[in-house]
Amino acid sequence: MSADFNDSADSHSHSENRRRAAEQWPGFEPEVALHWSKVLLHHSPDPQRAGIKAQMSSAIKRGIPIAGPGWVSTADAARSDGFTPVLYQTLFDTLQSIPRTAFRSHPGHRQNRHGTYLPGTPYESELWCDWPKLFLVEGFDAHAATTLTLLRAEPKFPRPRSNN
């Protein structure tokens, strides 16, 4: 009898998670929405309070897809450019290995900050749209694809003016 009860509870939890995903992540399958939630929790486009992120993390660990401000539009834009949650995570992991001082085009220069919140880094489609092709089709490793993308974008970002 308890096995039936647990199966029923799991089924209810699964259907509730599907409903929440449909509400918060329109156009995304629940499993994909959950995966984007996990990635964007760590690479959110907007600043977030640490306490809120901790609550979101707890919900995500329970299998509940969560959408913070700008998450769905970020995931949708990135998906349109050929990113999956895994590729998006790979890009941002690689960006952490490249000092922002190395490139004017590095998104670390354009992080969204607000008081004591954890900063957010916006997804810039015009900058990253070719990254999946470089990585998946042209065979560049993640670091090389990221470096090449940043290098190609340098002319779009003016040099800071000096006081001399």
Q: What is the CA radius of gyration of the chain?
A: 19
Residue 99 pLDDT greater than 70, yes or no: yes
In a domain, 123, yes or no: yes
Q: What is the DSSP letter of 133?
A: I
Q: How far apart are CA 51 and CA 30, in angstroms?
A: 25
CA distances from 33 to 23, 125, 143, 154 (A): 11, 20, 26, 33
**Residue of 12 and 159 predicted with greater confidence:** 159
In a domain, 67, yes or no: yes
Helix, strand and coil percent figures for the chain, each rounded to 5: 65, 0, 35
The per-residue pLDDT for range 16-32, each reduced to its tens digit, is: 767 776 788 999 999 99
pLDDT attached to residue 58: 93
HSE on the CB side for 48, CA within 13 Å? 23
In a domain, 56, yes or no: yes
pLDDT attached to residue 153: 96
> Which residues form the domain of 27?
2-156
Provide DSSP, 63-113: T-----TTHHHHHHHHHHTT--HHHHHHHHHHHHTS-GGG-TT-GGGG-B-
In a domain, 164, yes or no: no
**Residue of 137 and 4 predicted with greater confidence:** 137
Tell me how crowded residue 91 is: count the other CB atoms within 10 A of its CB: 23
In a domain, 39, yes or no: yes
Count the domains in the chain: 1
Residue 77 pLDDT greater than 90, yes or no: yes
pLDDT attached to residue 94: 97
